[in-house]
Amino acid sequence: MGQGSYNPYESAQKQFDRVADLIGLEQPIRDLLRQPSREYHFTIPVKMDDNSTKVFNGYRIQHNDARGPAKGGIRFHPQETVDTIRALSMWMTWKCAVVDIPLGGGKGGIICDPRTLSKGEQERLCRGYVRQLYKNMGPNLDVPAPDVMTNSQHMLWMLDEYEVLTGAHYPGTITGKPVGMGGSLGRTEATGYGVIYNLREALKVLNIDIKNTTASLQGFGNVAEYAARLYTRLGGKIVAISCWDGNDNKPYTYRKPDGLDIDQMAKIKDSFGSIDKQKALDLGCELLDGDEWLSQDVDILLPCALENQITPNNFGKISKQVKIICEGANGPTTPDCDDLIKERGIYLIPDFLCNAGGVTCSYFEQVQSNMNYYWTKEEVLEKLDQKMTAAFHAVHQLAQDKNLYMRDAAYVIAINRVAEAVKLRGWV
Ligand code: NAD
């Protein structure tokens, strides 16, 4: 949430400056892209259940919309900061650009703790947010989605308020809606499957048969579970999964050298992605320390839980056998690890390419909502595969041609695309 000394906005600007230097970006374009185009800061008065009125602070930040309407989630968090939202809006611009979807980057948030609010209070908060923003959002302006501590119900209340205020149906205003109420089939699978479409292509270019590979996974939530399902379906073997244990308040690694049965493991996890320790032991899993997922003798590491998990302090634990790191989570390796990954010659699939399946499917949801015509799950996943595969190969090819690290190649493509749109529009 941008607490303490780490400021995500400064870090997003530093990353941008480094790539801007690398590609010799002209000064006016740098000045435009290293900060958001527009910021809305507003207050939201909410009638509470006890008849008092509480005032919340809300934000929506549109980093850039040269390639299309801004796109990005709305977060509810007690420690939300404007700088976190600025950074996330900038990262959304690069993520949409690297997978070449015609959208820009945005992010929003409300400083609040939804766990302490009743359902009615949450609904009034969502509606109040839209009342403040509706003139500056919409299918052709800025399209929000769920994010930290927001869900499909929040999105539907927001959409309903928008439609009441504008007097017509605009389901393409918001994504992450429930299926049957404008949501897209395939969204649940999209991010995890997108991770594995990237991995599948990486293995092809490295000439490795997926059936001969093993992997270790951090996390067993939405992204990790669907990544594990597709990877094992394609013939790979997951030997370890690390996840949080809510009872013991620490993570554990569950290991089976012969390969974990993902269906079975999914049956013994709760809705927060925590595996039931006793049931896992009953299934014959070994129980190891939470960080042991990192030191397994596997070909592939799939960090799909949270940020800052692979650091210079624990990098030495990574087995010499590891050939690929697939960043399913956002920011799972700290920036000071990039040189170590390069030195070891590990092939990295950077987060904003690797986990872009989610936003790509949100884009498909918006397209379907705007048409008011919905595709089958197979159609959605097929289109997703095509997009992710094309994006992967564009980044891989540039990395090969210019001898770039994969993360740098992904940034170069994304920033160049946005810079080009800005120039073509005559903004600079
Ligand atoms: P989730 O809340 O469904 O799952 C998180 C998982 O991480 C859980 O299994 C939890 O047990 C585990 N975990 C938490 N702390 C841990 C620890 N210390 N050690 C080991 N495991 C731990 O979250 P998710 O939606 O799967 O998202 C995972 C990551 O992917 C996040 O970084 C998120 O920002 C990113 N991401 C998600 C999506 C999406 O569509 N869900 C899209 C893009 C990026």
- Residue 355 Cβ < 6 Å to ligand 1: yes
Residue bearing the CA closest to ligand 1, atom 42: 358
Q: Measuring CA to CA, which residue among 115, 184, 120, 179 is closest to residue 150?
A: 115
Residue bearing the CA closest to ligand 1, atom 20: 243
Cα-to-centroid distance, 271 and ligand 1 (Å): 12
Q: Measuring CA to CA, which residue among 267, 270, 271, 275 is closest to residue 217?
A: 275
* Per-residue pLDDT, 2: 41
Mutate-to-test residue for ligand 1 from 71, 226, 238, 244, highest number of ligand atoms within 8 A of CB: 244
Per-residue pLDDT of the chain (428 residues; tens, 9 = 90+): 444 467 889 989 999 999 999 999 999 999 999 999 999 999 999 999 999 999 999 999 999 999 999 999 999 999 999 999 999 999 999 999 999 999 999 999 999 999 899 999 999 999 999 999 999 999 999 999 999 899 999 999 999 999 999 999 999 999 999 999 999 999 999 999 999 999 999 999 999 999 999 999 999 999 999 999 999 999 999 999 999 998 999 999 999 999 999 999 999 999 889 999 999 999 999 999 999 999 999 999 999 999 889 999 999 999 999 999 999 998 899 988 999 999 999 999 999 999 999 999 999 999 999 999 999 999 999 999 999 999 999 999 999 999 999 999 999 999 999 999 999 999 99
Scanning the structure block, which residue is given the tokens 């790509």? 360
- Residue 358 Cβ < 6 Å to ligand 1: yes
Helix, coil or strand: residue 110: strand
Residue bearing the CA closest to ligand 1, atom 23: 221
Q: What is the pTM of this model?
A: 0.95
> Which amino acid, residue 223?
V
Active site residue 423: no
DSSP letter for 183, please. B
Residue bearing the CA closest to ligand 1, atom 36: 329
Note the pLDDT tens digit of each residue in 97-136: 999 999 999 999 999 999 899 999 999 999 999 999 999 9
- Residue 218 Cβ < 6 Å to ligand 1: yes
- Residue 230 Cβ < 6 Å to ligand 1: no
Name the token pair of 81. Answer: 């900061």
Sequence-distant (6+) residues with CB within 8 A of 420 are: none
Burial class, 211, CB count within 10 angstroms (exposed 0-12 / middle 13-18 / buried 19+): exposed
Scanning the structure block, which residue is given the tokens 């990192």? 294
Sequence-distant (6+) residues with CB within 8 A of 313 are: none
* Per-residue pLDDT, 5: 61
Cα-to-centroid distance, 306 and ligand 1 (Å): 5
Catalytic: which of 47, 54, 95, 107?
A: 107
Distance of CA 347 to the CA centre of its chain: 20
> Which amino acid, residue 178?
P
Mutate-to-test residue for ligand 1 from 187, 223, 363, highest number of ligand atoms within 8 A of CB: 223
- Residue 223 Cβ < 6 Å to ligand 1: yes
- Residue 243 Cβ < 6 Å to ligand 1: yes
Cα-to-centroid distance, 248 and ligand 1 (Å): 18
* Per-residue pLDDT, 300: 98
